[in-house]
Structure 1
Amino acid sequence: MSTLRVQTLGMFRVWIDDEPLPGTVWKREKAQRLFQFFITAMLNDSHQVLPKERIVADLWPTLDEPRADRDFKVALNALNDALEPDRSSRSLSSYIVRYGLAYGLDPDADIRIDADEFRRGLKAAARLETDDVDAAIDAYRDAIDRYAGDYLPDALYEDWASLERERLQTLYLSGAMRLASLLLQREGYQEAVHLCQSVLVLDRYWEEAYRLMMLSHAMRGNRPLAMRAYEQCVAALDEGLGLEPMHETVDLYEQIVHGDKLAISR
Structure 2
Amino acid sequence: MDDHSPSSLLTAEKPWSARPLLAAHVLGPFLVTLDGVPAGLWHGGRNESLFAYLLTHRNPWPSRETLMHVFWPGSTQDAARNSLNVALHGVRRALRTVTERPIVRFLGNRYGLDPAVRLWLDVDEFDRHLRLARLRRLAGEADAAIREYEVADGLYRGDLLAENPYEEWPVLPREQWRLAHVDALDHLGELSFAAGRYAAAAGLCARVVEGDPCRETTHRRLMVCQSRQGQPHLALLQHRACADALWRDLGVEPSPETQALYQRIRRHEPV
**Would you call these one fold, judging by a TM-score over 0.5?**
yes
For 2:100, the equivalent position in structure 1 comes to 87
Q: For the Cα contact (< 8 Å) 1:10–1:148, is it kept in 2?
A: yes
Where 1:131 maps in the other structure, the secondary structure is coil
Pairing 1:179-198 to 2, within 5 Å after superposition: 179-198=188-207
Q: For the Cα contact (< 8 Å) 2:26–2:123, is it kept in 1?
A: yes
Q: Kindly, what percent of the aligned residue pairs are identical?
A: 30
Residue 205 of structure 1, CA deviation: 2.5
Please, what is the CA RMSD of the aligned residues? Answer: 2.4
For 1:37, the equivalent position in structure 2 comes to 53
Q: For the Cα contact (< 8 Å) 2:126–2:156, is it kept in 1?
A: yes
Q: What letter corresponds to residue 5 of structure 1 in structure 2?
A: A
For 1:18, the equivalent position in structure 2 comes to 36
Residue 256 of structure 1, CA deviation: 4.0
When normalised by structure 2's length, the TM-score is 0.82
For 2:66, the equivalent position in structure 1 comes to 54
Where 2:254 maps in the other structure, the secondary structure is coil
Q: For the Cα contact (< 8 Å) 1:38–1:104, is it kept in 2?
A: yes
Q: For the Cα contact (< 8 Å) 2:49–2:167, is it kept in 1?
A: no
Q: Spell out, residue by residue over 1:150-208, the C-alpha distance to the aligned partner (whole angstroms, 9 max, x if none).
A: 11012212221011110111011111010001001111111111112222332322323
Q: Could you list the runs of 5+ residues in structure 1 that have no partner in the other structure?
A: none
When normalised by structure 1's length, the TM-score is 0.84
Q: For the Cα contact (< 8 Å) 1:60–1:68, is it kept in 2?
A: yes
With over 3 angstroms needed to count, the CA separation of the structure-2 counterparts of 1:121 and 1:28, relative to structure 1, is same
Residue 254 of structure 1, CA deviation: 4.4
- Paired residues, number: 251
Q: Distance in 2 between matches of 1:249 and 1:38?
A: 46
Pairing 1:109-124 to 2, within 5 Å after superposition: 109-124=117-132
Residue 231 of structure 1, CA deviation: 1.6
Q: For the Cα contact (< 8 Å) 2:30–2:48, is it kept in 1?
A: no
With over 3 angstroms needed to count, the CA separation of the structure-2 counterparts of 1:27 and 1:259, relative to structure 1, is closer
Choose 76-85 or 121-130, whichever is displaced more. Answer: 76-85
Q: For the Cα contact (< 8 Å) 1:180–1:192, is it kept in 2?
A: yes
Is 1:145 the counterpart of 2:154? The answer is yes
Q: For the Cα contact (< 8 Å) 2:49–2:161, is it kept in 1?
A: no
Is 1:234 the counterpart of 2:252? The answer is no
Q: Could you list the runs of 5+ residues in structure 2 that have no partner in the other structure?
A: 1-18
Q: Distance in 1 between matches of 2:70 and 2:268?
A: 56
Q: For the Cα contact (< 8 Å) 1:40–1:161, is it kept in 2?
A: no
Residue 27 of structure 1, CA deviation: 4.4
Pairing 1:123-134 to 2, within 5 Å after superposition: 123-129=131-137, 130-134=139-143
Q: Spell out, residue by residue over 1:128-152, the C-alpha distance to the aligned partner (whole angstroms, 9 max, x if none).
A: 1223211211221121121111110
